[in-house]
């Protein structure tokens, strides 16, 4: 009996959850370019990769498969990071309620958290990477993380707030002035979304 080939479902792009004309300090041109060129490029590449992976036979050369899976990991990470990034934009930048309390409890004060989050962003300025506020459901705590690319992140962490520090996220508006972009990013955080994400992942356990 002939073995059936596996079929990987096509990944669909997530529409922007906000009006790009209404962000503060982040232009419509920048946001649309970011979504249409960077995010959509990863969507298209991943779908093409999945077609190739679905055609792979048992005797597919391992070194070729290695390259495909490496690209698969990177493009998947890019899509997830961007979905989360765009998903936590569109707000007024003002936090309150449960998410404010959770951050203060985790970091000692709001200022402590904000200073560290921004400092991580500044450390990536001019390079590439992500700044992530995540809930570590193994250790049961909120932490800020530095991520250099789409493929590396701490285990058992659910990202609840993500800031893109790749130059394409700000260069069109701010050139090399990443610090100004960071301030603009903070003015547009949708803290209701961040709070909803935290509530969803509380209580997760693998072991």
- The Cα 102–Cα 46 span in angstroms is 36
- The Cα 130–Cα 160 span in angstroms is 13
Three-state DSSP state, 84: helix
Query: What percent of the chain stands above pLDDT 90?
Result: 76
Please state which of the ranges 44-48, 124-128, 156-160, 161-165 shows the lowest mean pLDDT. 124-128
Phi and psi of 46, rounded to 5°? Answer: -65, -40
The answer to whether the CB of 157 falls within 8 A of the CB of 136 is yes
- The Cα 200–Cα 207 span in angstroms is 18
Given pLDDT bands bounded at 50, 70 and 90, which one contains residue 66?
A: confident
Assess whether pLDDT exceeds 70 at residue 4: no
E strand spans, 39-129: none
- In order of their start, the domains of the chain are 25-207 (3.55.40.20)
Query: What percent of the chain stands above pLDDT 70?
Result: 94
* Tally of residues, the chain: 207
- The Cα 133–Cα 186 span in angstroms is 13
Given pLDDT bands bounded at 50, 70 and 90, which one contains residue 177?
A: very high
pLDDT attached to residue 31: 98
Displacement of CA 101 from its chain's centroid (Å): 23
- The Cα 15–Cα 207 span in angstroms is 35
- The Cα 142–Cα 102 span in angstroms is 8
Three-state DSSP state, 151: coil
DSSP code of residue 126: T
């Amino acid at each position: 009996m002939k073995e059936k080939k596996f079929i990987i479902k096509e990944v669909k792009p997530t529409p922007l959850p906000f009006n790009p004309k209404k962000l503060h300090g982040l232009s419509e041109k920048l946001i649309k370019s970011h979504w249409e060129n960077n995010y959509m490029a990863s969507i298209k590449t991943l779908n093409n990769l999945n077609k190739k992976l679905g055609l792979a036979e048992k005797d597919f050369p391992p070194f070729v498969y290695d390259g495909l899976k490496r690209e698969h990991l990177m493009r998947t990470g890019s899509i997830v990071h961007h979905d989360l990034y765009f998903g936590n934009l569109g707000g007024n930048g003002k936090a309150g309620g449960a998410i404010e309390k959770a951050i203060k409890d985790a970091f000692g004060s709001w200022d402590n958290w904000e200073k560290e989050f921004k400092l991580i962003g500044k450390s990536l300025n001019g390079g590439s990477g992500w700044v992530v506020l995540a809930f570590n459901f193994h250790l049961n705590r909120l932490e800020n993380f530095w991520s250099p690319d789409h493929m590396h992140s701490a285990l058992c962490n659910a990202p609840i707030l993500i800031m893109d520090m790749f130059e394409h996220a700000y260069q069109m508006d701010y050139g090399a002035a990443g610090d100004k972009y960071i301030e603009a990013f903070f003015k547009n955080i949708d803290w209701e979304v961040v709070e909803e994400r935290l509530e969803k992942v509380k209580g997760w356990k693998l072991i």
